[in-house]
Every structure is written in C-alpha cells, then in structure tokens.
Amino acid sequence: MEIRTTLFNEIAGKEIRNTYARAFLKAMPAAIAARREAVMSSFPDPDAAQACGQAIRAEVVARLPELLEQFEQNAVARGAKVLWARDAHEANGIVLAIARERKAPYVTKGKSMVTEEMGLNDVLVEEGIEPFETDLGEFIAQQLKRPPFHIVGPAINIPVEEVCDLFMEKAGMEEPTTDPVELGYAARLFLRNKFHHVALGVTGVNMAVAETGTIVNLENEGNIRFNKSSPRTQVSIMSIEKVVPTMADAMHLTRLLSRNCTGQAISAYVSMDSGPKGGGEIDGPEELFIIIVDNGRSEIYADPTARQALRCIRCGGCLNLCPVYAKIGGYPYGWAYSGPMGQVLTPLLLGLDRAQDLYRACTLCGSCREVCPAGIDHPSLFLYYRAKDVEGDRRLRGKRRPWKEFGFFDLWSRAVAHSTLWNLGVRLVRPFVNRYSRGGVITTMGKYFEGWFRTRNLPAIAEKTFHERWKRLRRDTVSGDPDGRRGEP
Amino acid sequence: MEKVSLFIPCIVDLFLPEIGEATVHLLRRVGVDPLYHEAQTCCGQPAMNAGYREQAKRAAKHFIDLFGDDDVIVSPSGSCVYMVKHHYPQLLRDDPVWLRRAEELSGRIFELSQYIVDILGVEEVGASFEGTVTYHESCHILRGLGVSDQPKRLIRRAEGVEFVPLPLADMCCGFGGEFAETYDYISEEMVKEKVESYLESGADLLVLCEPGCLLNIDGYLSRNHPEKKALHIAAFLAGTGRGG
C-alpha cells in the first residue's frame, strides 16, 4: 500500500470538493450518534460500561509483554502455531512462505488493517499469489486500488454506478444494475467461488484472549467466518496490542466495539478460534497460524506517553464524530488508518516527520476523546506529537520546525513573561495591523494571514485595549458607580 | 471578602476589549468587584498548541506568579481556563514546587458563566433582549470544562428572550487557532456549516462563551451575512450590545 501521508493537503483539498462523499459525510455524524446513543442506553450504566472498557485497555497496555506470553502459551497448547514478526517485511515473509509451501495459487482475506499496514496484498501480487479481499467494501476498494475510506466502510463513499461498472469489468457480473442488493449478490457469487477452492485464508484479529489462547473476530458479512472455516490453512495476523487478559474482557469489548463502531448491540457475526480443528471435529482449518506483528510498536511502548495509542481497538467511533474527517473523508490520512485513529497511530508507526499534517490538522475539539471506549486522549497526544516534533525527538523521529517559527515563539515567550515588553509589543504591532483597517474591520492584510481572510473578517486591534481601559473602569467603581453603566447609551 | 481576580485573555484584550468591559459590568451587577492584575499577558495556549512547551511554560509560570494568591479567578474564555486548569499541571509536572502551585490554582479558576451560576448561584442577572437566541457549545467549554447548562440558563432567564436550539450545537466551528490559517480550506467549511446551522435555527442572535469561536463565527458572518450577529455572553448579559 502506497504511503501518501505527506500529500495530506493535496488530497484533502481535492476530497473536500467531492460533493458525493460530502453529502454522505454530512449526514453520517448525526445518524451514527443517534444509533450509538440508542444502543449505548441498553447498558444499565453506559458511562460505567465505557469506563470499564477503558480500564481493560489500560490494563492491556500496562501488562502487554506478560499478556502476550500468556496468550502464546495457551494458543500453542491448543495446537496453534504462533509466529512473531518484528516488522512488516518479516510478517509478509512468513505469510508468503506458508502460501508457497502449500502451493496456494491465491488467498482469500478478511478485512484486516494490520495487513494494510504491512502492504501484504502488494507483496503477494508481486510473488504471483493473488489476494482476494472478501469484505464487500474492501473488495471494492481493492479492485479500485484505493485505500480504505473508513475503517468499517472502506468503500462507503463509492457511488453504486461506479460499483456497477467495476463489477461488470472485474467480478463477472453480466447485467448492469445499480440495485445494492443485486450488486451484493454479484460479489457474493464471485467470492463464494473463491472460497470454495481456497487453500489459504488470511484474517485479522479483533481480540486475542490471553487466558484461553482464543482469537476473536467481529464482522457483519460472514466472510471472515468463511475465511477461517473454508481453507485447510488459516493465517490470523494480529498486532501486539490486540491481546486482552480474559474472555470476560473480550466479551465486554465486543459489546463496546459493536456499539461505538456501527451502533449495533452486537455485530452480526462473532467467531472465536481456539486452535485448529481437533480430533473428531468436522469443521475448521487443519492448521492455524497466528502471526504476532510488532512493526514499530515496541518502540512506541518504550515511550510512556505515546504508549496509550496502543489502547486503540479500531472501532472507528472517533472517525464517525470527527468534524475534520466529516469534511475530507478517509483518503487524506494517506495510509491504513484514517480519522483521529490514524492521526494517533500513523505518526507513531511511520515517524512524526512523515505525518506532519496528521497531528496538526485538528482543532482539538475533543469529540474523539469523548467517544473513545479505549480511553485515548487524542488531543493530548496530538499536542505531545507537536511538542516532540518541535524538539526533534529522535525516538519518535521529530523533524523540527522552521527557524522563523521558533524565533517567533521564543520572542513571544519572553514578552509573555514581562508585561512591559508585552505591552510595548502591542503598541508596535497595532499600527502595523490597523493599517489594513477600514472602519474598525480588516478584510485583508495582503500577504499576511491569507487563509483567514479568504472568507473571514477580523476586528481591528482596539485603539484602547482592555489593559488601557482598566484605569477608567476601575475609577467607575471607586466613584460609586458599581453598575458600571454610567456613560453608556 | 474573597478576592475575585479577572483574567482577560489576549484575544479579548486586543480585539474584543468590550467583552472585558462587559465582564466587569456584569460581575459588579451581581455584587462582585473584581480586581485586575495589570501585568497579565497571555496564558500560553498558542505556544502549547504549536508544540512549544518550553515557551508555554514561561507563560504558565508568569501566570501562576501573578494569580497565585487570588482566591478565585474568572475569565470570559473557556479555552484559556482549560489551558490553566488542565495543561499547566501537565507542563509543570517535572517540577514538584511549580506542579503543586499549578494544581492549587486549577481548582480556583472558572469560566464566567460557570462562576456566576455554579459558584455565585445566580441565574437572574438583569439581562434583557427582545427576540430569539441560540447558543453555540464551544469545544473547550463543553468537552473541556463540562460547562453547557450554565450559559443556557443565564440566556433563558434574560427578559424577553425566547431560546431556540442550534442544530449540531456541539460541532466544532473550525477555529482551532493556527488551524484556521494553516488549514483554511477545512476551517472554512466548518465555520460555513456552523453559520448554516445558525440560519437554520431561525434565531435573531447567536450567543457563545468563547472569544476564539466568536472571532471565527462573527468574522465569517461579517463577511458573508452582515445582517446576522454573534455575541459573547458577557456582552449579551451586560446589555452593552458590543463584544462580537
């Protein structure tokens, strides 16, 4: 998958004019929020339920190394083969070796963000093994060669007419149709045939239960279950933070994930695998590989502040309510993870230097933090990334900022601590700014603040600031006008 | 007698001093005569948001030195209060002495409407306005300080006011300080939608508690819908008519 995080403004500038996607994105936050609220209210105490999820994820991050070892032991005891990959390259190599050994001409895949992160599909294609995404949206996105637009609805922005053309060309659909049900049926026919003969199925993991060695997947289409039950060999790929301590924890997170993600009380399918098919069982794969991928996360773990990013359970609740995402959609985030989730994860995984706009294109409104069932404080993390970038932090690969900006803030901070200097600064800046004022309103400042003035005016700097007005204000009360209304019209 | 100290953020000081004056008048009307430290400057939020923590720390220490002995600090800006309350302890966490001072201070600083309603227990402040009024929920006030009901109560109690809801009232207006300049094309769309909500509400007036949002929304109104106004709650309640 091509990494396009440095093209944020270019892509966002284009996407913001995409009227079709914008219409959909405008309706989404209110619709999702209403569904979410309705279904959250089925908890006796919704706030306590969220807090419980947040506590589980905090525990996971606190005990991560130990939980991973426990998971491995229990999964192995149930017959799974657990393999560790330090980075994307190693993880892809493992999948490739397994596919080659089994002479698989193609693989089917359940939607998995970590495989997007690894660029697994590209590697498989290069080696002549065709990957078929089997989640309907992901299938469309794959055929269109586009990144996921939304973590839950990867192709939710694609008009049906475009899907029709695509399926006529690539999914063997014979008669054109724009009926979503017919389109879904065409994809189903095409993919069922792939499942029928598949040797190797690749899926992601929503939760890996340490106490039982079980992997849990949540989905709405049944395709992941097919990926896990049709082939002889199942490969499930998880990033290290997917582990949870107990089955009870996994079940609580299942409730929260479904509610925060799609506003469902539970997803249509929840499947659990504890090892491959056992003696006497008729269903399931003959062999189960679980690949545990680090890909930079240990490095994140070593930073006590950044570490909380690993709490994320990929529900997408933050995307649904983000006012910036609602204007630009998922593509500008340039990689596997979009919206606030991507803004939190991508800069850590790729380096702060390669994702500058992701943690800056944010008003710090806090909608994401408010909804997050994992307890991530997104705005505080963005501020942390900005600070680490300014510092040029080596571990997180901060880039440092232009010297002009640094100079400005340094001068500013000296004035801030000395009011005489500050007030002198005000007196110097005022005539410069107010040169542009017409009747107390500024509509342009030439080459300065062009972004602001494109659509907005600004009041001129007051001829008398509050500071300069205070002496008179204070006198008003001394002379017995506590209401302060004297002299007003 | 408690010492109530006024914290006038730099945006108000420079661009909207009428809001500061209205705040003083309003407080006096409810029986509080605030003091004002003339050496106050800026809380440091711009530096904090841009990632310049050492520089923001200088602002924080200056602020704490200046306001450290006050019993209560009141400000007509929620985001600046949030900066002091929430970010100062974060910024100063490696220095136990400063951290303690920052934490002590964080319990004594209030946004204006929060102070009037929660601390003074006053809702009737002698305000009046003939017409329909709606309210924008600024992010730092709503989600940062948990203040939402207080300003709406004050508005509803004003004589002659009919309160109407604002669609998507808690959606960010797109200000975000530097964001409005750097990501102008996104910010514009956000403020445009906010203004569309305002027009849709049918209200005669939009009231809010955050000077940053006011510059953004009123700046957009002034350019594109000059017949409509946004007003800071202090100016609205004091009845001075200016402050937006």
Burial call A83-112: b when 16+ CB within 10 Å, e when fewer = bebeebebbbebbbebbeeeebebbbbbbb
Q: Which residue of A has its CA nearest to B52?
A: A387
Cβ neighbours of A9 in B, within 8 Å: 183
Interchain pair A362, B29: CB under 8 A = no
Report ipTM (2 d.p.). Answer: 0.96
Interchain pair B8, A466: CB under 8 A = yes
Which residue, A23, A224, A200, A51, is CA-closest to A138?
A: A224
Q: Domains along chain B?
A: 4-117 (no CATH), 124-238 (3.40.50)
Q: List pLDDT tens digits, range B18-53.
A: 999 999 999 999 999 999 999 999 999 999 999 999
Crossing angle of helices A19-40/A247-262, nearest 10°? 130
Domain residue ranges in chain A: 43-295, 415-478
Instruction: Enter the CATH code of domain A43-295.
Output: 3.40.50.10420
Q: Which two tokens stand for residue A241?
A: 């933070």
Report, as an integer, the average pLDDT of A407-431.
96
Cβ neighbours of A389 in B, within 8 Å: 51
Cβ neighbours of B175 in A, within 8 Å: 363
Which residue, B73, B97, B82, is CA-closest to B5?
A: B73
Q: What's the pLDDT score for residue A480?
A: 47
Which residue, B57, B52, B72, B67, is CA-closest to B2?
A: B72
Helix, strand, coil percentages, rounded to 5, for chain A: 55, 10, 35
Cα separation, B237 vs B18, whole angstroms: 13
pLDDT at A1 over 90: no
pLDDT at A481 over 70: no
Q: Is A51's Cβ below 8 Å from some Cβ in B?
A: no
B232's CB contacts (< 8 A; 6+ apart) are B16, B19, B22, B76, B207, B208, B209, B211, B214, B243, B244
* Entry field: residues in chain A: 489
Burial call A420-429: b when 16+ CB within 10 Å, e when fewer = eebbebbeee
To test the contact with chain B by mutation, choose from A405, A416, A436, A486 the residue with the greatest count of B C-beta atoms within 10 A, namely A416
Q: What's the pLDDT score for residue B1?
A: 61
Interchain pair A484, B24: CB under 8 A = yes
Q: Which residue of A has its CA nearest to B90?
A: A380
Classified as helix, coil or strand, A400 is coil
B3 vs B226: which has the higher pLDDT = B226
Cross-strand partners of A82: A290
A408's CB contacts (< 8 A; 6+ apart) are none
Cα separation, B19 vs A464, whole angstroms: 13
Q: List pLDDT tens digits, range B183-197.
A: 999 999 999 999 999
Q: What's the sign of the alpha-carbon dihedral A217, A222, A227, A231?
A: positive
Confidence of residue B241 (pLDDT cuts 50, 70, 90): low
Option in B25, B46, B139 nearest A363 (CB): B139
Q: List pLDDT tens digits, range A97-141.
A: 999 999 999 999 999 999 999 999 999 999 999 999 999 999 999
Cα separation, A383 vs B49, whole angstroms: 6
Task: Provide the mean pLDDT of chain B.
Answer: 96
Q: List pLDDT tens digits, range A295-335.
A: 999 999 999 999 999 999 999 999 999 999 999 999 999 99
Interchain pair A467, B38: CB under 8 A = yes
Cα separation, B32 vs A482, whole angstroms: 9
pTM above 0.80?
yes
Confidence of residue A283 (pLDDT cuts 50, 70, 90): confident
Q: How far is C-alpha A164 from the geometric centre of its chain's CA atoms?
A: 29
Interchain pair A417, B41: CB under 8 A = yes
pLDDT at A267 over 80: yes
Cβ neighbours of B89 in A, within 8 Å: none
- How many angstroms separate the CA of residue B226 from the nearest CA in chain A? 11
pLDDT at A30 over 90: no
Interchain pair A409, B190: CB under 8 A = no
Cross-strand partners of B208: B232
To test the contact with chain B by mutation, choose from A433, A455, A464, A468 the residue with the greatest count of B C-beta atoms within 10 A, namely A455
